[in-house]
Amino acid sequence: MAMYEAPSNEIVKQWLQETKTIAVVGLSDKPDRTSYQIAETMQARGYRILPVNPMLKTDVLGEKPYAALEEIPEKIDLVNVFRRSEELYSVVESAIKAGAKRIWAQQGVYDEQAAQLAKENGVEILMDQCIAVAHSVLLAGGKH
């Protein structure tokens, strides 16, 4: 089995430039949580955030929450994952069903088998990196 290889900075920069909608799996509605803070930061930088969390009952960051990726009726440019590593595989399965082509697993979220599944299904994946930090480094945190 091929080991996971992270996309180059050039490719990641391209992802960030091409992305308009980010489905955030595991987004919390609590402002003190990392997932909320990162999503809020990316929203402020011009991205549309689509909250994905079955526990959410009211809008988060002004957007309607979805229980699962497959429920989102519009095109998902990027899936940003705030779940434990052992849950990444099932998130990848959902992302494939939802037609997403790119998955970004946050810092500390890593699973070789999930990466292999993504690759086998033509889905690009980046693991164990913070999207807001990468955006700050590669695009100077500018407006999208």
List per-residue pLDDT tens for the chain, 144 residues long.
568 999 999 999 999 999 999 999 999 999 999 999 999 999 999 999 999 999 999 999 999 999 999 999 999 999 999 999 999 999 999 999 999 999 999 999 999 999 999 999 999 999 999 999 999 999 987 776
Right CATH number for 9-139 from 3.40.50.720, 3.40.630.10, 3.90.1150.10, 3.40.50.920?
Answer: 3.40.50.720
Beta bridge partners, 25, equal: 52, 81
- Residues 69 and 90: beta-carbon distance below 8 Å: no
Report, in angstroms and rounded to the nearest whole number, the Rg of the chain calculated over CA atoms. 14
Q: Give alpha helix (H) positions in the chain.
A: 9-18, 34-44, 88-98, 112-120, 131-139
Q: Which pLDDT score is estimated for 1? A: 54
Judged on CB neighbours under 10 Å (0-12, 13-18, 19+), 51 is buried
**Single pTM value for the model:** 0.96
